[in-house]
Structure 1
Amino acid sequence: MRLWMNAIVALLFMGVAVAKGIGPCYNQADPDNDIGNYCYCQGNGGCYFEGKHNSCDPPGIAIPGGCP
């Protein structure tokens, strides 16, 4: 039962990102240029801070000024 609940919650979070039209989102970083982790979303080409649990599913708020 717990497995089903976890699966349902995960699908709901994925649905939120897709419903916003920003997903799918992937973690990116550029340590050579001192740029830490952030989320790049293919749906709109935008960059976002990491969301809950340092994940990009769903991403956090948009990075001011766009992608690094």
Structure 2
Amino acid sequence: MKHHIEILRFLQASGSVSSRDLARQVGVSVGAVDDCVKALRDWGFGISDLLGTGYQLTESLQLVDE
């Protein structure tokens, strides 16, 4: 779950970003990023995959720190 939140935070801050850049930022493999994004989509988060650009949030989020 930690990586999912990190990915959401990075997408929110960066606009669109490639899975390779997300993997580097979060410290996981590209495959792990793709799995996390799939799970986030399954949970209802709007994330698009733009060809040549990368992942992008399709709606604004308000993340609250615990």
Q: TM-score, normalised by structure 1?
A: 0.30
- Of Structure 1 and Structure 2, the greater helix share is in 2
Which one has the bigger strand percentage?
1
Q: Tell which structure's C-alpha radius of gyration is larger.
A: 1
Whose RCO is larger (CA < 8 A, sep 6+)? Answer: 2
TM-score in terms of structure 2 length: 0.30
